[in-house]
Structure 1
Amino acid sequence: MATYQELTDPDDPRLADYVSLRDTQLRKSVEAANGFYIAEGHKIIRRAIESGHHPRSVVLAPRWIEGLRDVLDPIDVPVHVVTEALAEQVTGFHVHRGALAAIERPTGHDDLAALLHQVQWGAGPRSRIAVLEDLVDHSNVGAAFRSAVALGVDALVVTPRCADPWYRRSIKVSMGAVFQVPWVRADPWPSGITQLKEAGYFVAGMSLGEGSISLDELVAQDHSRLVMIFGNEGHGLTPATDALIDARVTIPMMGGIDSLNVAASSAVAFYATR
């Protein structure tokens, strides 16, 4: 059963997981070393728990207690009840949703072969996988996950240098989509492309490079197993990846615009190939 405790001291060691949430570098090291991630907002906390993730603690403003009792009460977790002013003092920003949770990081997000087996068993003869290569912006990662779930992509792969899907900002922007779709971090990369090809996937890289086909042409080819790779926000696909893909694909545009933000381009590609 959950235990509810009112805390009033910002230096209380029970709040240590929530200190300085806006310090990205600090949070990366603290959360990775201690095996947890931060979920922000009552909806995200609910989705995480309903997905089978276990919180090690929860911080709530009083107004959110009743709305989360049904998912918190059945599990063994300390719930720290604090004022919103105290939450802001601890975290370093205004927690306007009044709810945070430190949740144990799930394991098993490092096996590309297992992911492919899961997708091919669950999706049948047709499937789509998206690869996020070296994206550095957590918001872009979260947005891509949200679009992938909304538009029926079967799985995602992130590369070793890609921003962390379990980072608070990624989870928040994804609206919990990171809990809903299978994904792995493929390391080493880009050798994972060979695994994808051997599993029968046509590998398309979203690119403005020479010899690109249009997204419309890719759709017309009607590949039953399709991988779409989206490159870094500033540099696009790495040369090593570009050398291994089956086709470069570009989104036809007008008005003198030659590219879209990666979050927007992934949504367009997911919709076009659905």
Structure 2
Amino acid sequence: MRKTNTTNKQKPICRLLALDAVSNAANMGSIIRTAAAFSIDAIILSDDSCDAWYRQSVRTSMGHVISVPIIRVSDWAYGRKNDEEDNHDEKLNGLAIFLRWLRGTMDVECLAAVVDDGSDKKHWQPFVLLEDQVETSRSWCCVLGNEGNGIRDVVIQECDKRIKIGMATGVDSLSLPIAAGILMHGLSAQTKKALE
């Protein structure tokens, strides 16, 4: 964590990025490189995200994989289902548990990056566009999902807000590394402005 404001009244601001089931090594490397460019404090990977140390990821990151701390959170087995047909171990999503800890213990605002407003689902979190996000001097964690499926519902449920990049009509999504860069830049700029 770096201290972004030198007054004694301010506590250190932590800027985190969490990736849920990101499986493309080139995308992983590009996100790591972008995170280094925006001085992100750490990247948190779900148990089923690809390895940041895959050759393609390291090459695409231009070696910045060594400059950004990367934390992999494991899923937790917690027992057996009593279902006769489907008798496999149940798992608790490690990323969801970690986000709950960040919010509850560390007072980190967790923001789920989504491509739609989620009106078809029963999400309790407020929905905001990136450009409407209120400037905050709190620590934050931006959560990004899988290239094809987005963030799992169990992970979204542990976030404070759902956030979307405003785009022109007819454009429904961006590539994961591009979206990550826009979000990191926007959130970092809003934090800096709030601290001025």
User: TM-score scaled by structure 1?
Assistant: 0.54
> In proportion to residue count, which structure has more helix?
1
Deviation per CA, 1:137-158, whole angstroms, max 9, x where unpaired?
0011101000000012111101
Provide the residue aligned with 1:272 in structure 2: 186
Provide the residue aligned with 2:107 in structure 1: 200
Provide the residue aligned with 1:64 in structure 2: none
Provide the residue aligned with 2:52 in structure 1: 165
User: Is it true that 1:216 corresponds to 2:103 in the alignment?
Assistant: no
Q: 1:191 aligns with which of 97, 103, 106?
A: 97
RMSD over aligned Cα, in angstroms?
Answer: 1.4
The letter of the residue matching 2:102 is L
Deviation per CA, 1:239-270, whole angstroms, max 9, x where unpaired?
10111111000000014101111111000011
Whose relative contact order is higher, 1 or 2, with alpha carbons under 8 Å and at least 6 apart? 2
8 Å contact kept, 1:202–1:223 = no
- Alignment gaps of 5+ in structure 1: 1-118
Q: Aligned partners of 1:223 and 1:202: how far apart in 2?
A: 10
What does residue range 67-216 of structure 1 map to in structure 2 within 5 Å? 119=1, 122-123=2-3, 125-188=12-75, 189=94, 190-197=96-103, 198-207=105-114, 208=116, 209-210=118-119, 212-216=127-131
Count of residue correspondences: 153
Q: Aligned partners of 1:221 and 1:184: how far apart in 2?
A: 27
Q: Which has the larger radius of gyration?
A: 1
8 Å contact kept, 1:160–1:187 = yes
The letter of the residue matching 2:132 is E
Q: Aligned partners of 2:111 and 2:27: how far apart in 1?
A: 20
Bigger mean CA offset, 161-170 vs 201-210: 201-210
* Identical columns (%): 25
User: Is it true that 1:262 corresponds to 2:176 in the alignment?
Assistant: yes
Q: Aligned partners of 2:180 and 2:33: how far apart in 1?
A: 10
User: TM-score scaled by structure 2?
Assistant: 0.74
Moved over 6 A (4+): none
Deviation per CA, 1:50-77, whole angstroms, max 9, x where unpaired?
xxxxxxxxxxxxxxxxxxxxxxxxxxxx
- Alignment gaps of 5+ in structure 2: 4-10, 76-93, 120-125, 189-196
CA-CA distance at 1:183 after TM superposition: 1.5
Q: Aligned partners of 2:12 and 2:129: how far apart in 1?
A: 24
Q: Aligned partners of 1:223 and 1:195: how far apart in 2?
A: 19
Q: Aligned partners of 2:137 and 2:157: how far apart in 1?
A: 20
Deviation per CA, 1:69-108, whole angstroms, max 9, x where unpaired?
xxxxxxxxxxxxxxxxxxxxxxxxxxxxxxxxxxxxxxxx
SS in 2 for 1:273: helix
